[in-house]
Structure 1
Amino acid sequence: MALLHRATLRPSKLDLLTTWLPSRPWYQGPADADVLIQAAYRLDDPADEVGIETMLVGTTDGPVHQVPLTYRAAPLHGADESLVGTTEHSVLGTRWVYDGCADPAYAVALALAILTGTGQAEQYFEVDGRREVREPTMTVSVSGAGDTDLAPVGPLRRVVDEDTALIVTDSVELLVIRRPGTGDAGASGATLSGSWNGQTASVPLAYARPV
C-alpha cells in the first residue's frame, strides 16, 4: 500500500526528469523537449522507508520511456552517479530522488511484485483522517510467477544500464524495459506487464528470474 501526500515538489518530478533523461544512453528524443507523464505505478517497499514510483514518460513525438524512481529521506551511499536530483517536498522535506535501477530497495520491491504475483501497490491519500483511494493511471499484471519462496534479494552485484536494464543480485536477476514495447526480444522469466492510455495492448515492463 502506498500512502500519498497532497503536496508540492520544488523542483517537480518533471523538472528533474527533463534535465536528467537526455543524459541516459537509452533515451530517445530531443534534449530540449518537455517531458510528459503518460502513466505511473508504485511498488511497496517491504521496509516502508523508501518511496518507489515507476513513471512512463516521453516527449510529444518520441517513444515512451520507463523510469523507476526511488524517493529517500537521506542520500543513498555510493549512488551519486544515479542521483536524478533533490527536491523539496512540502510535507516530508528534502527528498533524494534516484534512478530505481541502481537502488537496492527497488530491486527488492520489483522482485517481490513479480515473483510473488502482487503487482503494483494500491495508492491512497490521507484526507481529514480518512483514506481515499487514488485510482491507478495504468493496468499492471503479472504472469509466470512461481510458487517457491523468494530468497532474500540482498545487495546489488551488477547493474547494466542499457535499453533493457539488467539488475543482478545473489538470488534474482531483473530486467527492466526502458522503452516498453521494444528491446525485450529474447527476455524470459516471470513478467510484469502493463497498459495505459495510448497503449491499449499490454506490453512487458520487467522480468524476474531466480538464480
Structure 2
Amino acid sequence: MALVYDTTLVPGKVDLLAAWLPTRPWFRGGPNPRFTRAAGGFRLDDPAGEVGIEFVVVTDASAPGKVVYLTPMTYRGAPMPGADDALIGTAEHGVLGPRWFYDAPHDPVFVEQLARLLGGHAQPQHRDDSDTVDTTVTVLTADFEVPTSGFDTVSVTDTATSTEISFGADRPAIRLHRTITPDASAGIRVQAPWDEGSARGVFVSVV
C-alpha cells in the first residue's frame, strides 16, 4: 500500500528539484527557472514498504510556453549504497524523519516496480490518497515480459529528452519521457494526465 502522510517535508520536493533539475541534460530552461508542482503524477508501491516511489511532475513557468518535466523520485530512510551520483537531496519528513531522495531510474526498487507496472502486475497509486488506485493512468502492456532479476545491474542513460533503462542488448529498454507533451501515440506505454487533467501525455514507453 502506498501510504500517504498528511505532514511536512522540509525542504519540499520542488525545492529539492530546483537545484537538481537545471543540471540535467534534458533541462530546457534559462538561468532563472520558476518550478511549480503540476497537477499530474502518481505513486507506485514498494511491496516491502521501505522505499517511497513517486512520479513527480513539475512545470517551469519561466520557459517559453512552459516546459513540463517528469522527475520520478524514490525516497529512503537511509542512504542507498553506491548511489551518491543519483542523490537529488535530503529532507526531513514530519513523521518518518530524515529521507534521502534519489533519481528513481537508479533505484532498483523503482526499476522493478516500473517493469511490473508495464507488465500489468502493479497498479498506479494516487499521489495524495493512501491505498487508492489512480484510475486516470492508462497502462498498455502488450504482453511486456517482466524481468525476474537484474534490477540492480541495469544500464541507465540520459539523453536530451529521456532516460533509457536497459536490461541488456537482447531485451527491450524502458524509456522515461523527461519532457512531457500532449501525446496519444500507441505502443507499450504509461499515459497520464497533468495540468488539472486538461492534457495527457506519455510518461513511459518501451523501445
Question: TM-score w.r.t. structure 2 length?
Answer: 0.83
Question: How many residues are aligned here?
Answer: 199
Structure 1 residues 119 and 27: alpha-carbon distance in aligned structure 2, compared to 1, 3 A threshold: farther
Give the aligned partner of residue 115 of structure 1.
119
Classify the secondary structure of the residue corresponding to 1:4.
coil
Q: CA RMSD in A?
A: 2.8
Give the aligned partner of residue 128 of structure 1.
none
The residue identity in structure 1 corresponding to 2:191 is: S
* In 1, Cα distance between equivalents of 2:127 and 2:57: 17
Give the aligned partner of residue 105 of structure 1.
109
The residue identity in structure 1 corresponding to 2:111 is: A
* In 1, Cα distance between equivalents of 2:143 and 2:10: 42
* In 1, Cα distance between equivalents of 2:4 and 2:196: 25
Give the aligned partner of residue 41 of structure 1.
42
Give the aligned partner of residue 4 of structure 2.
4
1:69 counterpart (70, 73, 78): 73
Give the aligned partner of residue 194 of structure 2.
196
Give the aligned partner of residue 95 of structure 1.
99
Show CA shifts across 1:44-90 (max 9, x none): 11322100001111111431000000000111111111100000111
The 8 Å contact of residues 156 and 167 in structure 1, kept in 2 or not, is answered as no
* In 2, Cα distance between equivalents of 1:33 and 1:67: 15
* In 2, Cα distance between equivalents of 1:12 and 1:92: 14
Most deviating of 24-33 and 166-175: 166-175
Moved over 4 A (4+): 122-125, 132-136, 147-150
* In 1, Cα distance between equivalents of 2:131 and 2:141: 28
The residue identity in structure 2 corresponding to 1:168 is: S
State the shift of 1:134 in Å. Answer: 6.9
The 8 Å contact of residues 35 and 58 in structure 2, kept in 1 or not, is answered as yes
State the shift of 1:142 in Å. Answer: 0.6
State the shift of 1:169 in Å. Answer: 2.7
State the shift of 1:152 in Å. Answer: 3.3
Structure 1 residues 93 and 197: alpha-carbon distance in aligned structure 2, compared to 1, 3 A threshold: same
Gaps of 5+ in 1: 126-131
Classify the secondary structure of the residue corresponding to 1:3.
coil
Classify the secondary structure of the residue corresponding to 1:116.
coil
